Amino acid sequence: MSAVTVPPRALVMLGVLTLVWGTNWPLFPLALQEISVWTFRSITAPTSGLILLAVARLRGLPMRIPREHWPTIAAASFFYLVVWNICSTYSALMIPSGQSAVLGYTMPLWSAVLSWAVLGQRLNGRLLVALALGTLSVVLLMVPSLGAYAQAPLGLGLGLLAGLGWAVGTLILKRRVIPVPVIVLTGWQMLIVSLPVMTIALLTGDRQWFIPNTQSIVLITYITLIPLCVGNVCWFSIVTLLPANIAGLSVIMVPMVAMVSGAWLLGEPLGPLQLGAMACCAASLALTLVQPARQRPA
């Protein structure tokens, strides 16, 4: 069995993605103190989409996507950007943000199983051990949080649904590769999901016009430019460079960064169980990305 070669470019993007997405989770409760989830997403999604397409235009990249690919893009956008973004944001408001991140990042577990069931990708021994370690990390982080989950079962359900939606959206893109630059694809996806999100925001979101305070404006701007623009471009690039099951497992360190960020910014718990979970995630990532040297023939 041949080992999967991980391009250096994917490792760089993984490092950037882990940092910007991991530190993003504790910012949600702070950014949403004055506005609703739907209003928040109706601002960040179209703005980030327009920024990405503007950058693509300045770089002279082709902006057109062949008509036959739009159904695939629409389906992937719904599961990843609508289900994931809305469910994960609500979950982060209902339960501690670090715990919500752990639930959302059960995505690698969903992705590995769905890749095996739908795409026929084989789960070799290394990936099975990595999957087991990732599952153990989730269990370790959930044990001290059962009280919080009991008080907010909807937060638990939405966190898991977010992970499932992300996995499904990723697999849709893996089954049919879209032959356009990643930044262009990401920008169009952001604009596509803006339509239903903005419609719901008009119906259920904030009805009275007001100007948020400086903290809210700064956080919304940061989330739009860095986690959404930079982070999503990195993620879709990783998806094109790695198999779906490995791409999913490769981001398992993000909730660990989220746990540390939540402890620092929001005073969320960070003790022996959380540190043990981080060790499991680090081992899982190493098994996924660091391939053994091929044995030389005797």
d(CA 35, CA 79): 24
Predicted confidence (pLDDT) per residue in 254-287, tens digit: 877 888 888 888 887 778 877 887 788 778 767 7
Residue 183 corresponds to which tokens in the numbers above?
Answer: 């930044």
Domain assignment of residue 9, yes or no: no
CB 75 within 8 A of CB 176: no
Domain assignment of residue 4, yes or no: no
Q: What is the DSSP string of 193-257?
A: HHHHHHHHHHHHS--S-----HHHHHHHHHHIIIIIIIIHHHHHHHHHHS-HHHHHHHTTTHHHH
Predicted confidence (pLDDT) per residue in 56-92, tens digit: 999 898 888 888 999 999 999 999 888 988 999 888 8
Domain assignment of residue 1, yes or no: no
Encoded amino acid at 257, one letter: V
Domain assignment of residue 180, yes or no: yes
Domain assignment of residue 38, yes or no: yes
Q: What pLDDT, on a 0 to 100 scale, did the predictor assign at position 289?
A: 61
Q: What is the DSSP letter of 155?
A: H
Which residues does the chain have with pLDDT short of 70?
A: 1-6, 141, 144-152, 205-208, 244-250, 285, 288-298
Task: Give the list of residues 6+ apart from residue 245 with CB closer than 8 angstroms, or none.
Answer: 108, 111, 112, 115, 116, 121, 123, 127
User: Which residue in the block uniquely carries the two structure tokens 């928040």?
Assistant: 40
20-36 residues labelled b (16+ CB within 10 A) or e (exposed): bbbbbbbbbbebbebbb
The stretches of the chain forming alpha helices (DSSP H) are 8-22, 27-31, 37-58, 70-77, 85-94, 97-104, 107-114, 125-142, 146-151, 153-175, 182-204, 214-223, 232-241, 244-250, 254-266, 272-289
Domain assignment of residue 46, yes or no: yes
State how many domains the chain has: 1
CB 171 within 8 A of CB 114: yes
Domain assignment of residue 107, yes or no: yes
Domain assignment of residue 296, yes or no: no
Task: Write out the residue range of the structural domain in which residue 199 sits.
Answer: 15-289
CB 182 within 8 A of CB 236: yes
Q: What pLDDT, on a 0 to 100 scale, did the predictor assign at position 297?
A: 39
